[in-house]
Structure 1
């Protein structure tokens, strides 16, 4: 695969994704007794949940709990960062990875993505060992046949409040992009930018391996038109979506989100993929994991997986 960032050599996003998905599926099916195929393989949209939000950060118990919640997959986290040189991850151990894959298969679940949630509180622009951190994530994705990684720029990387960090972030992602291209994976960014600003950021990075990991809450909490934001980013720039808003109201009771209209917007765009539950817990009982996430999962499936 070519790694040049000149316009004539940048690979087409759609072609890249199609090839990546095909390669990942083929590799996974070659593993004895393991498969990423779930009971909802034919659905255009699948529902997942973040393991850290159900209090099972990189824990095998996430899979039976996700099964009870009723989702199709789990977004597995790389673990905390603190002041370490890389994530506190045990997924670099083949035996541990095998247990995770076997548990996912046992509960008829997929691993929708690998998350680097440590960057919610840490600065991607300032950590000196960021290349090792990202490489460790890419290696984990490759070993577990997972296509998408989640990279939040977080509070310290908020490009609205800290625009001075933009050149450094672009430079760092340009360095990471060839490694992701070689591995055939996608790094999904969550930023504080509006959709137009995010398009500019992605164009400056100039690689189909760096895309938007869209979050409903980013648009909603800043008074933006959610549907316009989705259309501005477009089908080929969005790798996955965190379908979430602030805690306090379940998704089905949230007047700020017209979920059937969201589905229609995504349908019209021709987008398909994972919708990942993160927050939107009931204020009256925020600690009821199965209750909150189960209701949200059921509601999302009623809209995105009818019949």
Structure 2
């Protein structure tokens, strides 16, 4: 069931990538080439620098953010990067150059932050600025947003719930005569940059995503003893021999195995393994030792 669900998500993601970027399958080199045409050589060089500087287990996430920026720049125009925001926020160009943290995305990387920003700006351009914000971790539909003063029964109010994500709240009159609202979950939609970011990450997977570096970071040797323990753990807990692959010798072997195992669709017991194998792939020996101790003790 989990495997089928994962494949359904990939199929939908590949369809969106084809529609948004014209690619049959996401490819890092193609993405960088297309982004250069939309963002310009200097911005693309800075974006590529940030992608290469991220841990290899996060490279797909950074490339997915770049896919969102590519589609968003095509929608908003290159001038989006230079537009000041009323003196309170730097222009996106400055954020990219200096890695300035901006609210409400201070917990994101620079590229993720910019991708969220442009996804919201495109959503505002298409559907208007949201009148309210809500959290869809709760699927309660009634009276989740504060109504504007001119609210009237039947009016639809645009609500934000995520970067680039919007849905409508429909104003209704309650039996006691007061006005309330019901979230219309059928109206849920994402802007094109948000769709591109999600679909590139899902369709491309964890990698390897080589970007022409010399030496190749995916060819770096990994701790052989730790690799054997983690590969054996995966086999003993339900991963197939095909998913685990040949014994892991290099970082690229580990990254590819993580992707094949489809860890995100597995049960909670895999979380400790995930954290350990990420530490192995990212070359963090202290964190790896701690995580190995956790999973061998469980």
> Structure 1 length normalisation: TM-score?
0.28
- Larger gyration radius, structure 1 or structure 2: 2
The structure that is helix-richer by fraction is 2
> Structure 2 length normalisation: TM-score?
0.28
